[in-house]
């Protein structure tokens, strides 16, 4: 009996299939971690907005125009850039509200306003966002 040493075609195909399955599992978890990091970066950037808005308010006793303030705009644009999604910023005399959409798989947006609210809101709340974050 003269058997050559080596792997059969079936053995090679099984090994390649197992490697493919493991690679897809790893790719999925890495992609999910990347999205979570983008969401965390956006949230971190947005946390700089209230301090900048209060400085803006203290100089004129109004929030009108706070969305155009250099420091607020810098943090707001950084948050939008982190997720690559849309954002909303609006202000009135005594209130402001800022929201930036999260990256999938987290549905919704991060919202903060002049009343001190900082929370995640749903897509429906995003669509009807008023002058403060919804309760």
pLDDT of residue 62: 92
pTM above 0.85, yes or no: no
| Rounded-to-integer distance, Cα 39 and Cα 79, Å | 9
| DSSP of 20-59 | HHHHHHHHHHHHHHHHHHHHHHHHHHHTTHHHHHHHHHHH
pLDDT of 100: 94
What's the chain's average pLDDT?
90
Query: Could you give the C-alpha distances from 25 to 22, 30, 68, 90, 116, in angstroms and in order?
Result: 5, 9, 44, 42, 40
Segments in the chain below pLDDT 70:
1-3, 105-106
Question: Alpha-carbon distance 102 to 109, whole Å?
Answer: 5
Domain ranges of the chain: 10-127
Helices and strands of the chain, counted as H and E runs: 4, 4
């Amino acid at each position: 009996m003269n058997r050559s040493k080596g792997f059969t075609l079936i053995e090679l195909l099984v090994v390649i299939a197992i490697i493919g399955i493991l690679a897809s599992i790893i790719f999925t978890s890495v992609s999910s971690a990347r999205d979570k990091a983008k969401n965390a970066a956006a949230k971190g950037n947005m946390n700089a907005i209230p301090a900048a808005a209060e400085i803006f308010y203290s100089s004129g006793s109004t929030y009108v125009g706070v969305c155009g303030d250099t420091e607020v705009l810098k943090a707001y644009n950084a948050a939008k850039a982190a997720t690559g999604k849309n954002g909303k910023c609006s202000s009135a005399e005594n209130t402001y509200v800022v929201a930036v959409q999260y990256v999938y798989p987290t549905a919704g947006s991060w919202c903060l306003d002049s009343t001190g609210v900082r929370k995640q809101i749903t897509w429906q709340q995003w669509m009807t966002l008023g002058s403060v974050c919804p309760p």
